[in-house]
Amino acid sequence: MVTTRHEAAHRIFQEQPDLLAPVFRILGVELPEAATVEVLGGDATEIRPLERRVDTVLRLTTSEGEGMLLAIEAQTRQDPDKVNSWAYYLSFLKSKYRLPALLLVICRDKATADWAAGPFRLGTEGWASLHLNPLVLGPGNVPVITDTAEAAQDLTLAAFSALTHGDAPEARDILDALARALGRADATSIEYYTQLLEIGLGNTRAGELWRTLMTIYFPGRGTLIEEKYLEGKAEGKAEGKAEGRAEGIAEGMEKGSVRARVEERRQMVLRLLDAHGVALLPSSLRRIQTCTDLSELAYWLDRAFTATSEKELFAPREP
């Protein structure tokens, strides 16, 4: 499992190689059909004092035995010195494995992605001995997946979309779609993608929103609300609909005192609003903190998933 934000950007290709098919379509590069994927060591060191390590190296091999290499690098900023390393990686891999090699650079921001696309000319001012043309994935070409059904069809691509667009205005909708899609997934997938996004988004606003969504949607993350909500969902009381979600919470919470249940809902409403960046007036904050009506709090909790303002949160119930 990945351990840092940097690793999440490239290790997802090691752990979920099915991501290569949609990625190659995005890049307009032909992927060998029926290719098996093997993770190779990223050590590109020839002289021990000079350590060179590629983030991820994959070998793709067809049933006919033909193959290619894909070197994957996660890049967080523009770094002219990195160009020399990339050229070395490709030359080393070609020489070692006797296979054609491509370089794929993963970027979180558009400026770095535009720079990483090159092309880079290595040589003198009057003559280029080598042209380097990396393939680049970044906010400009990775799809923004905000539809739950689309996310459910390809959880890996949806997760990669969330990692790539974590700083974008659409991040909230992307994460909400992925969280809802995971509600249809198996336990192994839920655990894997939950951890991947927690690490990959780190201590960012998107990371806080993701942790809030996971706390509400899935068990083992510390609140009575989530556990009772899932019990209600398992009994068929909530199937992804807003009404079902509120009922699943309300009907499942028969344990504990009324005061404890009220406080749980108040805190979850406030956490969601904070994660979404919704600023509250002092009067609105007091309105939530002093509310003792479980039904009203359940309604606000439901609204807090998508609300972008106080007006949307406190919108009257539809008749």
Tens digits of residue pLDDT in 181-207: 998 888 889 889 988 998 899 888 888
What 8-state DSSP symbol labels residue 17?
A: G
Domain ranges of the chain: 5-137, 148-313
- The pLDDT tens digits of the residues spanning 114-131 come to 999 999 999 888 888 899
Mean pLDDT on 228-248 = 47
pLDDT tens-digit series, residues 278-294? 888 888 898 998 998 88
Residue whose pair of structure tokens reads 């020489």 in the numeric block: 95
Strand-pair partners of 38? 59
pLDDT digits (tens, 9 = 90+) for 259-269: 777 887 888 88
Residue 177's nearest CA partner among 204, 195, 198, 155 is 155
Q: So what CATH class is 5-137?
A: alpha beta
Q: How many C-beta atoms surround the C-beta of residue 121 within 10 A?
A: 14
Q: Are strands 56-61 and 36-40 parallel, antiparallel or unpaired?
A: antiparallel
Q: What percent of the chain has pLDDT over 90?
A: 35
Over residues 91-120, the mean pLDDT reads 93
- Asked if residue 229 lies in contact with residue 216, where contact means CB atoms within 8 angstroms, the answer is yes
Which residues touch 38 (CB under 8 Å, ≥6 apart)?
A: 58, 59, 60, 61
- DSSP assignment letter at 19: G
15-29 average pLDDT score: 90
Rounded to whole angstroms, how far apart are CA atoms 48 and 157? 38
pLDDT at 47 over 60: no
pLDDT reading at 242 higher than 60: no
What tokens were used for 241? Answer: 């609909």
Beta bridge partners of 104: 72, 135
**65: Cβ–Cβ under 8 A, 6 or more apart, which residues?**
none
Residue that the structure tokens 């990371």 belong to = 207
Average pLDDT score, the chain: 81
Terminal alpha carbon distance of the chain: 48
